[in-house]
Chain A
Amino acid sequence: MAQPSRNDLAALTRLAEENLDHVRVVRLESNSDRALWEVHGAYKNFDIRLKEVFTRSGRMYSYYILNQGEVVVGFDNYPDRRALQQKYADDFKAHLFELIPHKHGPRKATFELTEEMTLVAFLDYLHQHA
């Protein structure tokens, strides 16, 4: 699978800069096989944490809105037990390496499966809900 180039990652950073304040690039690594991009920023009174990781597993992402260190809303696709069980019930062991898009509510007390999220979609969500 072709991984994003430095230019692609720079475009993600520009998108963050256009939509958030105090943007800081925390991690930026890329080569032909994998890439890692992490940016922190702020929106109104919220801290925003953005991360995309490209490996053989595919595109993993984590977009979180925090308020004073606590999760307000978070989107990611990491296949933890909740995600696996909600999507596959008792058959979850057959899907351990599948990425499962989902959303966490306040303090991660609620959970729901979602469509795959992109940075553009997350920023739209942020503008509409925060």
Chain B
Amino acid sequence: MQTISIDSEWAETARFFGDVDGVVKAALRSYLIEQTQSRIDKAASRVTAFAQKYHSDFDTFRRSLQADSDFLTKIESQNPLWEEDAMEWEYWLEEHRSWRNRLEMISRR
């Protein structure tokens, strides 16, 4: 548990809406959900962009690159720098997964 100081004017205003602790907790929860959702949306948008570019989900894409030399040749002829995309795709997938977990955690409380 952490103690956070807030301006006394804010506390006075918060009193209009109920118990100050409760109001501040609800406001913070709401803010965190909003910010977390924004991170999820950003990551989801990047993941979708890569999925559309390569007509595949990441796991299939990665598996095909490792198992199918014809697929690798095809991807390379269309996108010679596909490695850049694959690395970033993985980044945004992790980002998406991580923020979704965080949102679930916040929402449960």
Chain A interface residues toward B at CB < 8 A: 27, 29, 33-34, 36, 38, 49, 51, 53, 55-57, 60, 62, 64, 70-71, 74, 76, 78-82, 84, 92, 96, 107-108
Contact = CB atoms under 8 A, between A and B. Distances in A.
Contacts of B98: 33-34
A60 B81 CA distance: 14
12 contacts: A36-B88, A49-B81, A51-B87, A55-B90, A55-B94, A60-B90, A64-B81, A64-B84, A71-B81, A76-B83, A78-B83, A81-B65
Given A51-B88, A53-B90, A96 B81 contact: no
A82 B76 CA distance: 12
Q: Give the top 10 A-B pairs by smallest Cβ distance, nearest first.
A: A53-B87, A78-B83, A60-B87, A76-B83, A62-B84, A80-B65, A62-B83, A53-B91, A36-B91, A51-B84
A27 B81 contact: no
B20 interface: no
Contacts of B65: 80-81
B72 A53 contact: no
B81 A62 contact: yes
Given A80-B72, A81-B69, A108 B88 contact: no
Q: How large is the interface on B (under 10, 10 to 19, 20 to 34, 35 or more residues)?
A: 10 to 19
B66 interface: yes
A119 to B, nearest CB: 15
- B86, B87, B88 — most chain A CB neighbours (10 Å): B87
B9 interface: no
Nearest to B42: A29
Contacts of A84: 66
A29 B67 CA distance: 31
Interface centre among B66, B68, B88, by most chain A C-beta atoms within 10 angstroms, is: B66
B18 interface: no
B80 to A, nearest CB: 5
Considering residues B69, B72, B84, which has the most beta carbons from chain A within 10 angstroms of its beta carbon?
Answer: B84
A110 to B, nearest CB: 13
A70 B81 CA distance: 10
Interface in B33-82: 65-69, 72, 76, 80-81
